[in-house]
Amino acid sequence: MMTPEYMDEDRKKLVELLIEGEINKNEAKCLIFIADQGDVKSKEIEDSLDLRQPVVSVAVQELREKGWIEKKDVKKSGKGRPTHAYNIKKPIDEIINDVIKNIEKEIEELKDKKRELRDLTMSLYF
């Protein structure tokens, strides 16, 4: 199992950049961990990233809805809650391209607002 020190400086920076690309912090952490580890159980994510179970559940559900990871049931002996493992569903470079497209869309929206602000100011005051 990975230690809580799993997040080295490069991974921390990648998480920060993903957050700036409108990805939730916990989603970003889970995504990077799953991309690195593959076929990882919820408990391993919780322990390695020092996140609580409900936080991991929400994050992986969001990542699944984006189509970036997939869940599979893991057979276990005895009773209790089912265990799940997660894997990257889409290559990480394609996931990053999705994030970049989102950033580019935001840039265009900001440019449109900038033009509108400039045009409206010019029409009202000049």
pLDDT tens digits for range 62-121? 999 999 999 998 877 777 777 889 999 999 999 999 999 999 999 999 999 999 999 999
Mean pLDDT of the residues in the chain: 90
Report H helices in 1-91. 9-20, 25-37, 42-49, 53-65
Determine the pLDDT at residue 82: 76
Q: Tell me the average pLDDT across 44-48.
A: 93
Residue 118, in any domain of the structure = no
**Full domain range(s) for residue 43:** 4-90
Determine the pLDDT at residue 80: 74
Determine the pLDDT at residue 5: 62
Residue 41, in any domain of the structure = yes
Query: Distance from first CA to last CA of the chain, Å, rounded?
Result: 66
Q: Which residues pair with 88 in a beta bridge?
A: 69
Residue 123, in any domain of the structure = no
pLDDT at 57 over 90: yes
Residue 13, in any domain of the structure = yes
Residue 30, in any domain of the structure = yes
Residue 110, in any domain of the structure = no
Q: What is the CATH number of the domain that holds 63?
A: 1.10.10.10
Residue 122, in any domain of the structure = no
Number of domains forming the structure of the chain: 1
In 3D space, the residue among 98, 102, 107, 82 whose CA is nearest the CA of residue 31 turns out to be 98
